[in-house]
Amino acid sequence: MHEREPLQDPTTRYPVPDLEGQPPIAHPGLTSDMRTRPDHGERGYRGAGRLKDRRALVTGGDSGIGRAVAVAFAREGADVAVSYLPEEEADAQESLRLIEEAGRRALPLPGDIRSEEHCRALVDSTVDAFGGLDILVNNAAYQMATPGGISDITTEQFDRVMKTNLYALFWLCKFAVEAMPPGSTIVNTSSIQGTNPSPSLMDYATTKAGIVDFTKALADDVAKRGIRVNAVAPGPIWTPLIPATMPPEQYREFGKDVPLGRPGQPAELAPAYVFFASDESSYITGEILGVTGGTPFT
């Protein structure tokens, strides 16, 4: 008789990170700085050929959600270009290693996506290296908590958040759709902050709300080209970004208020991106999927 796989209780499937023991880390933060390392699916994700021979570009693919997506895409059969800041080289090298370990081509693309020219180069370099571009994942983002609310948000910070989270997404989508064949997909990263904004993340939340409308409008615009556009909206996910951008008194409560009672892991996001990137979602475009631990994305 076949032994049935045990059910997984979602409240305890992943351990709660050591939030109390985690010291603040310098932005942008590295995985090696984490006392409790995030789970990117290194040991648990098993591919099934859903993205065989697809050509993907993932921004922010060095760590956190981006690494989990890059690993899952490679194990599903895709070649993956990884965009990241030069300061994140150590993390990026691990992502690239995991892609190649899965038997797929990995393309390192360091640089700052606040530059329109760099965004164009990301698309061009991916097309040149892989012979085309089938999947774009806009995942890279900048946030910096301001406990004093709007009084603490400088014009410099506001500009950086807008350029990283919205301008770059616009540029990358604009250049990508010109290179993408019918059947291609774009997956953007919004956030629970897009509908449930925190005062200390006011500028970041504004961009994540904007990504929702941009996703819906772009999906309508490029449907005639045979390109689908969707977004994933994460809730509290444990990545280096958290202790690198929040004060300890804030991140020590991170994820405790969601119905499932814990922060999520990057590995729990990757299947949503695979679904939107694959033909399994062929009749879905312009949708936002919340992966929030139970907090309604409304």
Q: Which residues are catalytic?
A: 204
List of the chain residues with pLDDT < 50: none
pLDDT 10s digits, 248-291: 999 999 999 999 999 999 999 999 999 999 999 999 999 999 99
Q: Where are the domains of the chain?
A: 33-291
Q: Measured between alpha carbons, how far is 192 from 187 in angstroms, rounded to an integer?
A: 16
pLDDT in the model for residue 49: 97
Helices 270-277 and 64-75: angle between axes, nearest 10 degrees: 50
Calculated CA dihedral for residues 256, 259, 264, 268, nearest 10 degrees: 170
pLDDT of residue 1: 61
CB 161 within 8 A of CB 142: yes
pLDDT at 298: 79
Give me the architecture of the 33-291 domain, per CATH.
Answer: 3-Layer(aba) Sandwich (3.40)
pLDDT at position 5 is: 83
Q: Measuring CA to CA, which residue among 99, 95, 93 is closest to residue 73?
A: 99
**pTM for the full model?**
0.96
User: Which CA distances in Å does 187 have to 35, 36, 78, 210, 230?
Assistant: 30, 28, 15, 15, 5
Report cis status (omega within 30 of 0) of the bond before 266.
no
